Amino acid sequence: MTLAELRGALAAWAPRPSHIERIAREHWPEGGFREAAVLVPLHEEGGVPSVLLTLRRADLRTHAGQFSFPGGRLDAGEGSLDAALREAREEVGLDPSRVEVLGRLSEAMVLQSANRLTPWVASVPYPFPYEAAPREVEAIWHVPIPALLAPGVHRTQRHNFYGLDVDVHFYEVEGRTIWGATARILSELIEAWSAR
């Protein structure tokens, strides 16, 4: 499927209710769940779609050494799409004017940092002089979507968080592990893409 076809698929995709709505209030973290957003940047190279991920630095306070999408918490008065675009500029040098938003996926719960995450899917330029923000990003990884579809790459494990049983997603690609909210978002992206 092309990115143009994905736009149509996302237009017909109904984001699912958040897991957070099913968590009893007595199990919520102190201060509740904070609003955050990510950009899911997609591009094509030789007709093959890829997704851009960042490898977070190993010395960060949260999500150290993990693969993630560019993103972060919303600033006061900021919308989720604006936050996703701002964070993508800060983390990988992506010019917001070069981004074509394709649609939105379901809100994801970030287990380690108690965030409720809105993912925005976008077509981004390639080639482009992406640059990892040295204080936060160790490396940028362009993952071919077909690599995520290979047999045995994707798995889930059932865990209990905040009094709720949830499936934690994992992708093993090129000897690297993508897991948590990032893997959950990738799983839904692939499902939406395949549903067209």
pLDDT digits (tens, 9 = 90+) for 18-42: 887 888 888 888 888 899 999 999 9
What is the dihedral angle through the alpha carbons of 78, 81, 87, 93, rounded to the nearest 10 degrees? -130
Residue bearing the bigger pLDDT, 23 or 87:
87
Q: Per the structure block, which two tokens stand in for 37?
A: 């957003």
**Mean pLDDT over each residue of the chain, to the nearest integer:** 93
Q: Which residues contact 151 (CB under 8 A, 6 or more apart)?
A: none
Task: Report whether 141 contacts 91 (CB < 8 A).
Answer: no
Mean pLDDT of 56-77: 91
Task: Report whether 67 contacts 176 (CB < 8 A).
Answer: yes
Greatest alpha-carbon pair distance for the chain in Å reads 51
d(CA 8, CA 14): 12
